[in-house]
Amino acid sequence: MNHFSRRSILLGGLGLGAAALAGCTPAGPTGGRESSSSAPVPSLAVPTPGQRVVEQTLTARPVTLDLGGSQVATWAYGDSAPGAVIRATAGEFVRVTVDNQLPADTSIHWHGIRLPNAADGVPGMTQDPIRTGEKFVYGFTATDPGTYFFHPHVGVQLDRGLYAPLVIDDPREPGAYDAEWIVTLDDWVDGTGRTPDDVLNELIEAGGSAGSGGMGGMDHGSHGAGETQQPWGDAGDVTYPFFLVNGRVPTSPETFTAKAGQRVRLRIINAASDTIFTVALGGHVLTITHTDGYPVVPQETGALFIGMGERYDAVVTLGDGVFPLVARPFGKATGGQGLALIRTGAGSAPGPDVTPTELTGTALIGSELRPDESARLPSRTADATAQVTLEGSMSPYRWGINGAPFGENEPLTVRAGERLRLNVMNMTMMTHPLHLHGHTFALASGLRKDTVLLAPMQSMPIELDADNAGNWALHCHNIYHAEAGMMIGLQYVT
């Protein structure tokens, strides 16, 4: 798949000067992240004199984890899944040494971070894989505040325990809340008799090899004898025994404690590989304030959909008692749900299968949020337009973009400085969370995202400013789809 020349990889990260190693300039009264596109990404992999450095070592290794009663053999960063949060303030330099003690190649991708191409963590595109026993140092300036996470970009390793939150604090934000909790969601199979690699092989085998001609657009394969499920149709391929919140099964949930009346900021991250969740907090209204790091016009809702790779920040004022924070997998009949508890007072804890009434109401679709003004791209007409057609089938198990799987499809191209419009069309009967590396894009409403859910047969124009030279990936964040080909390159050309 290595159709990127070594030369272009080397040049990729060097296209923009060091001029803009700026750090941050004051934002508007909303305290939103600095708008918008055109501040070039610093390309140096070393801190500037005086820049504060956040330094970490991550050891990726086989471990046995306790999910809350179930022991699983898996791969993780350190001793837990999710791994420990990495936290920096916008403008600081993040330097992470990865020590690969796995019996396999690995890498780390800093999901959602606008960083130099050489730190993006995609073997074959931006670096060589980190071999067993090797170390690799990632370095980048964390320019944009927000809620992010990181994970390998090798095979289906994301579906092991190899993920952790990454939070970039906004030095200008007033922080109008009393506490902040990170809520990381996952679907779990590793060490329960199957590994994610087994799961991928099962999907490929179940798909058979017959009729492997083109990318069959309409096949939704072995899914759904049942009624159509709104709004996402067939949303996943894999049957999971567990759904986790912060690495815990619902019979042994994490319990957050606070005082009644306190305001809490939730940073919700969907690190699952094949599961869209509906999230609700029993007895409460969530006020959504950010998605994928960018501020939105605050929107109240009882429940919220979150696709793989998406992040939402919500603020909530807590009532008095014990409340379930539920992550219900969309369209999956087995495996239960994800659960955490919030305790502010006396009362008995709800059980693992609790259904808050908020879950039975309408859930917010994130792409319908409105952007905060500070999050808009400058108004401008597109210089170039490209088509991005999502295709594939369950049988054969083969997914692609623009007519072929990754490696056989033609990379998209863009010139530095252009406004690029992508007309994305989902020509399948499944939902796909589309994720772009190194950039964020604007929906027609102006909403800024780096990962967006496309429902079956949905079309969506998105626009981006080509302000970060390199070779980047655009792919479905269902890791099985991505690994089966639903990915395409975005290459800067001159």
Interface residues toward Cu ion, by CB under 5 A? 432, 476, 478, 481
- Give the Cα separation of 296 and 304 in Å (integer): 14
Nearer to Cu ion, 302 or 329 (CB): 329
Is 449 among the residues that bind ligand C2O (CB under 6 A)? Answer: no
Residue 432 binding result from ligand C2O, Cu ion, none, given CB thresholds of 5 to 8 Å by partner type? Cu ion
- Give the Cα separation of 337 and 250 in Å (integer): 7
- Give the Cα separation of 1 and 129 in Å (integer): 13
Closest CB 234 distance from ligand C2O, rounded Å: 21
- Give the Cα separation of 229 and 315 in Å (integer): 29
| CA 417 vs CA 35, 439, 465: distances in Å | 16, 13, 7
Closest CB 468 distance from Cu ion, rounded Å: 24
Judged by CB under 6 A, the chain residues 101 through 160 that form the site for ligand C2O are 109, 111, 151, 153
Nearer to Cu ion, 270 or 478 (CB): 478
- Give the Cα separation of 475 and 483 in Å (integer): 10
Q: Which helix (H) or strand (E) holds 102?
A: none
Strands 441-442 and 448-449: antiparallel
- Residue 168 tokens read as 């970039």
Binding mask of the shown chain, residues 385 to 424, with x at each position contacting ligand C2O by CB under 6 A: ----------------------------------------
**One-letter identity of residue 98:** V
Contacts with 381 (C-beta within 8 Å, 6 or more apart), sequence order: 419
Closest CB 474 distance from ligand C2O, rounded Å: 9
Interface with ligand C2O (CB under 6 A), residue from 95, 160, 421, 435:
435
Count of residues that interact with ligand C2O, criterion CB under 6 A: 10
Residue 481 binding result from ligand C2O, Cu ion, none, given CB thresholds of 5 to 8 Å by partner type? Cu ion
First vs last C-alpha separation in the chain? 22
- Give the Cα separation of 38 and 471 in Å (integer): 18
Residue at shortest CB range from ligand C2O: 111
Closest CB 46 distance from ligand C2O, rounded Å: 25
Interface with ligand C2O (CB under 6 A), residue from 288, 430, 473, 490:
473
Judged by CB under 6 A, the chain residues 286 through 315 that form the site for ligand C2O are 309
Nearer to Cu ion, 114 or 432 (CB): 432
Per residue, the 3-state secondary structure of 14-51, as one string, reads: CCCCHHHCCCCCCCCCCCCCCCCCCCCCCCCCCCCCCC
Residue 449 binding result from ligand C2O, Cu ion, none, given CB thresholds of 5 to 8 Å by partner type? none
Contacts with 49 (C-beta within 8 Å, 6 or more apart), sequence order: none
Interface with ligand C2O (CB under 6 A), residue from 267, 421, 437, 439:
437
Residue 439 binding result from Cu ion, ligand C2O, none, given CB thresholds of 5 to 8 Å by partner type? none
Closest CB 51 distance from ligand C2O, rounded Å: 26
Nearer to Cu ion, 86 or 276 (CB): 276
Confirm if 276 and 307 have CB atoms less than 8 A apart. yes
Nearer to ligand C2O, 358 or 450 (CB): 450
**One-letter identity of residue 403:** G
Nearer to ligand C2O, 309 or 324 (CB): 309
Nearer to ligand C2O, 284 or 439 (CB): 439
Contacts with 10 (C-beta within 8 Å, 6 or more apart), sequence order: none
Which has the closest alpha carbon to 155: 186, 109, 95, 97?
Answer: 109
Residue 478 binding result from Cu ion, ligand C2O, none, given CB thresholds of 5 to 8 Å by partner type? Cu ion
Confirm if 304 and 244 have CB atoms less than 8 A apart. no
For residue 379, cis peptide bond before it (omega within 30 degrees of 0): no
Which has the closest alpha carbon to 358: 316, 392, 324?
Answer: 324
Q: Which stretch binds ligand C2O (CB under 6 A): 15-23, 37-45, 322-330, 472-480?
A: 472-480
Nearer to Cu ion, 58 or 479 (CB): 479
Is 475 among the residues that bind ligand C2O (CB under 6 A)? Answer: yes
Going by the DSSP 8-state scheme, the letter that residue 205 receives in this structure is H
Is 250 among the residues that bind ligand C2O (CB under 6 A)? Answer: no
Residue 18 CA, distance from chain mean position: 28
Nearer to Cu ion, 284 or 481 (CB): 481
| CA 203 vs CA 112, 309, 341, 485: distances in Å | 28, 21, 35, 13
Residue 309 binding result from Cu ion, ligand C2O, none, given CB thresholds of 5 to 8 Å by partner type? ligand C2O
Closest CB 110 distance from ligand C2O, rounded Å: 9
User: Footprint of ligand C2O on this chain (CB under 6 A)?
Assistant: 109, 111, 151, 153, 309, 435, 437, 473, 475, 477
